[in-house]
Amino acid sequence: MKTLVPAVAVWGRTAPSHSITAVMITDDQQTIVTGSQEGQVCLWDLSFFLQISSKEILFGHTASVTCLAKARE
């Protein structure tokens, strides 16, 4: 059984900026991936009704994310 776990982000008084520089959608068209000028990669859930909600934000890059690519399992 698949368990849904909500994403939790912890930061100071303001959320980090996310100036999108790259966008990709997964093959199942349920997740959008964005890369940012600030070096973050974000995953977004895309519902059947085209509602977008945040899923995960990944930190760690020291440079802008200018390209995203799909990898096979």
Q: Is residue 68 part of a domain?
A: no
Q: Is residue 51 part of a domain?
A: yes
pLDDT surpasses 70 at 45: yes
pLDDT for position 53: 83
Which structural domain range is residue 51 located in?
Answer: 18-59
Q: Is residue 24 part of a domain?
A: yes
Which tens digits make up the pLDDT trace of 16-36?
677 899 999 998 889 999 999
Q: Is residue 53 part of a domain?
A: yes
> Rounded CA gap, 71 and 27, in Å?
11
> Rounded CA gap, 30 and 44, in Å?
8
The total of structural domains in the chain comes to 1
Burial class (CB in 10 A: 0-12, 13-18, 19+), 22: middle
Q: Is residue 12 part of a domain?
A: no
| pTM higher than the cut 0.75 | no
Q: Is residue 29 part of a domain?
A: yes
Q: Is residue 72 part of a domain?
A: no
